[in-house]
Each structure stands twice: as structure tokens, then as C-alpha cells.
Amino acid sequence: MPAQADAILKSLRKMRCMVLVPAGKRRDALCDGLRHSVGSLEATWPGPDSIGPEVDIIIAAVADLPSDSVLYRLERKHHCLIGLVEEDNPTALKGIIDLGVHSFINRPTHPLSLVMALVLGLSISAYENRLRAKVGKLENNLRAAHTVERAARILARTLNIPEDQAYQHLRTKAMDRREPMHELAMQVIKAHAILDDITSGRTQESSSPAKLRIVRGIEGGK
């Protein structure tokens, strides 16, 4: 068996699985099949108001889900989402796309296809999480570069020095204070915004909306 699949299969036994399927024979059959593969199992309908990060896998009856289901509001950072679809239900296609499932289980379910659906779903959701982490880091870097550039421009203007010298000032100060350069840059930008407000006699409420938006944009990105 290929290595990665084997690893995921092993990790399945430690995982917490939540089954969002209306009670009945269909759910019982699914839970019977799952019980051998996953660590712990919880079947519920129509489901809780929120689902915490302790749940690893969510299996949901796609066509039965109410349109305001918690699954449509999930901040999908931890969960692997798997759709349960009926063979003769045409709304299932819309459901699996709208939910953005990582994989799906067809009913009636063959034991091997159940395992395949779980392993595929977990592999894709884990990869998604790694890429999300990478994008997060890259975004932070872009933001930090922008912040440092803005702070250097402010310093250059305020102190009437070349921008390159302003960078060097920022860098030296950051090293002295043992702070990341972009955090110091953020403080410069904030201090400058406050000073600007004071010297122009404005309160924060009366300052221009465009300016507030810029300051907030940077804060929000921290």
C-alpha cells in the first residue's frame, strides 16, 4: 500500500467523526461501517449550532441538510467534510459543490469505497490546510513589506531624510529593541496617525474616512 495512504489509514483510528444524518436505518448502517475505522463516532441530527476543532471528520447527508445548516457557516480550518449522497437523488450534485466537500460516499456503500472516501477526504483537507498555512505566511510577508515601506516613507518625510536612511533608522531601532522590523514600523505608522490627528485638531471620529480605513486595514492584517 502506498505510504501516504497507509499513514492516513492509521491516523483514522485516532480521529473523531461526527455523522450528520437523520436517524434511521441509513444512519445505523453507515455508523456500523465507520465504527471499525475511526477513533470515536457521534451521530446527530440536525446537528449542533457550532462544531469545534476537536472534530476531525464530518459526514453529512447532503440532500437532507437544511439551507441554514452549520456546515454552510463552518470556518473550514480543521475539518474534513464528506458528503453522503443517495444514488437516485439529483440535488446531491448541487449539495456537494455548495458544501465544498473533500470527498463523498455513495449509498448503498461498499466497505472499501467508505474507506477510500475517508482517506481521500483526509488527504485533500490536510493538503488544503498546508497550503492555507503557506498562503497565510506569504500574505503576512506582503503585509509586513508594505508596512515597513509606509513607515520608511513617513520617517523620510517627517525627518526630511532619504528613504534609504529611513530604512536604516528603522532597522537599527528594531535591532536595539529586539523587535521585528514590521512591528516597529506599525508603531511608527500609528504614532504618526495620532500625531497627525492632534496637530490638525481633529478627533478620530472627525478624521476622513479614507484615512481611517487605511489605518484599520493595516491593524486588521496583524
Least distance between another protein and beta carbon 209 (Å): 29
Nearer to another protein, 55 or 63 (CB): 55
Q: Which residues bind another protein (CB under 8 A)?
A: 2-4, 6-8, 10-11, 14-15, 56, 80, 122, 125-127, 130-131, 133-134, 137-138, 141-142, 144-145, 148, 164, 167, 171, 174-175, 178, 180-182
Nearer to another protein, 86 or 128 (CB): 128
Least distance between another protein and beta carbon 116 (Å): 16
Nearer to another protein, 12 or 114 (CB): 12
Least distance between another protein and beta carbon 118 (Å): 11
**DSSP characters over the chain:** --HHHHHHHHHHTT-EEEEE--SSHHHHHHHHHHHTTSSEEEEESS--S---TT--EEEEEGGGS-TT-GGGG---SS-EEEEEEETT-TTHHHHHHHHT-SEEEEES--HHHHHHHHHHHHHHHHHHHHHHHHHHHHHHHHHHHHHHHHHHHHHHHHHT--HHHHHHHHHHHHHHHT--HHHHHHHHHHHHHHHHHHHTT--TTTS-HHHHHHHHHHHHT-
Nearer to another protein, 116 or 174 (CB): 174
Least distance between another protein and beta carbon 11 (Å): 5
Nearer to another protein, 76 or 211 (CB): 76
Least distance between another protein and beta carbon 1 (Å): 10
